[in-house]
Chain A
Amino acid sequence: MTEGNGNNPGNVTSRAHSPVPNEDLGKSGKTAKLKIFRGDSEGGQEVEYEIPLVEGMVVLDAVLAIQAEQAGDLAVRWNCKAAHCGSCSAEINGRPKLLCKTRVEEYDGEEIHVHPMRAFPVIKDLVSDVSWNYEVSKAIKPFHSSEQAPFTMYEEDVERLYEPKKCIECFMCQDVCHVLRTHHKHAEFAGPRFFVRNQWLEMHPMDEEDRLGDLKEDNGLGFCNITKCCTEVCPVDIKITDNSIIPLKERVASEFYDPAKWLMRKIRGNGSSRNGN
Chain B
Amino acid sequence: MQRDENTNGRREQYETREHDVLIIGAGGAGLRAAVAATRHGLSVGIVSKSLLGKAHTVMAEGGIAASVGNVDPDDSWRQHFMDTLKSGKFLNNWRMAEIFTKEAPDRVYELEQWGALFNRTPEGKISQRPFGGHTYRRLCHVGDRTGLELIRTMQEKVLATDSEIYMETTVTKLLKKGDRVVGAVGYTRESGKFIHFKAKAVIMATGGWGRIFKVTSNSWEGTGDGVVLGYDAGAELVDMEMMQFHPTGMVWPPGVRGLLVTEGVRGEGGLLRNSEGARYMENYDKEKMELSTRDVVARANYTEVQEGRGSEHGGVFLDITHLGYEGIMKKLPTMYEQFKNLADIDISREPMEVFPTVHYTMGGIKVDPETCATNVPGLYAAGEVAGGLHGANRLGGNSLSDLLVFGRRAGEGASAFVGESVHSADIEADAVRTEIGRVLEPLEKGGEGESPYLMQQELQNAMMEHANLMRDGDSLKEGLGKILALKDRLPNVRVGGSRLFNPGWHTAQDIRYLIQISEIILRTAVQRTERRGAQWRLDYDGPDEELGKLNFIVTKDGQGEIGIERREIPPMPEHLSSLFEEEKAKA
Contact = CB atoms under 8 A, between A and B. Distances in A.
Interface string A117-144: 0000001110101110010011000110
A56 B255 contact: yes
B59 interface: yes
A47 interface: no
Contacts of B252: 26, 56
Contacts of B452: 72
Nearest to A73: B497
Given A20-B464, A134-B52, A72 B451 contact: yes
A83 B220 CA distance: 15
Given A72-B495, A72-B504, A54 B220 contact: no
Which among A73, A76, A78, A103 has the highest number of chain B CB atoms within 10 Å? A73
A31 to B, nearest CB: 16
B51 interface: yes
Given A9-B303, A142-B157, A87 B50 contact: yes
A130 B470 contact: no
A130 B283 CA distance: 52
Contact of B464 (A2, A8, A18, A167): A18
B538 A162 contact: no
B54 A75 contact: no
B220 A204 contact: no
Contact of A83 (B114, B214, B341): B341
Nearest to A207: B115
B431 interface: no
Contacts of B584: none
Interface stretch (B231-239, B306-314, B406-414): B306-314
Contacts of B124: 151-154
A57 interface: yes
A270 to B, nearest CB: 28
Contacts of B259: 81-82
Contacts of A84: 58-59, 145, 147-148, 334
B283 A4 contact: yes
Given A10-B299, A72-B451, A124 B501 contact: yes
Contact of A12 (B149, B471, B538): B538
Interface in A230-272: 236
B51 A68 contact: no
Contact of A56 (B54, B256, B296, B505): B256
A265 to B, nearest CB: 29
Contact of B113 (A56, A74, A124, A145): A145
Contacts of A112: none
Nearest to B541: A11
Nearest to A58: B255
A101 interface: yes
A24 to B, nearest CB: 10
Contacts of A54: 253-255
Interface stretch (B16-24, B285-293, B556-564): B285-293
Nearest to A55: B253
B46 to A, nearest CB: 12
B160 interface: yes
A169 B53 contact: yes
Contacts of A75: 500-503
Nearest to B259: A82
A205 to B, nearest CB: 10
B125 A143 contact: no
A267 to B, nearest CB: 36
Which among B255, B334, B454 has the highest number of chain A CB atoms within 10 Å? B255
B54 A134 contact: no
Which among A58, A67, A87 has the highest number of chain B CB atoms within 10 Å? A87
B337 interface: yes
B500 A10 contact: no
Given A26-B253, A123-B501, A150 B451 contact: no
B110 interface: yes
A150 B283 CA distance: 42
A188 interface: no
Nearest to A156: B120
B257 interface: yes
Contacts of A167: 152
Contacts of A236: 337
Nearest to B110: A149
Given A72-B504, A127-B501, A143 B470 contact: no
B38 interface: no
Contacts of B214: 20-21
Interface of B: 50-54, 56, 58-59, 68, 86, 89, 109-110, 112-115, 117, 119-120, 122-126, 142-143, 145, 147-149, 152, 156-157, 159-160, 165, 167, 190, 214-215, 219-221, 252-257, 259-260, 283-288, 293, 296, 299, 302-303, 306-307, 313-314, 334, 337-338, 341-344, 451-454, 457, 461, 464-466, 468-472, 474-475, 495-498, 500-505, 531, 538-539, 542
5 contacts: A4-B296, A61-B255, A67-B504, A73-B496, A80-B56
Given A26-B253, A78-B220, 18 more contacts: A2-B287, A5-B531, A10-B307, A13-B472, A13-B538, A16-B470, A56-B254, A58-B342, A72-B497, A75-B500, A82-B342, A129-B190, A134-B167, A137-B159, A143-B114, A143-B115, A150-B112, A169-B53
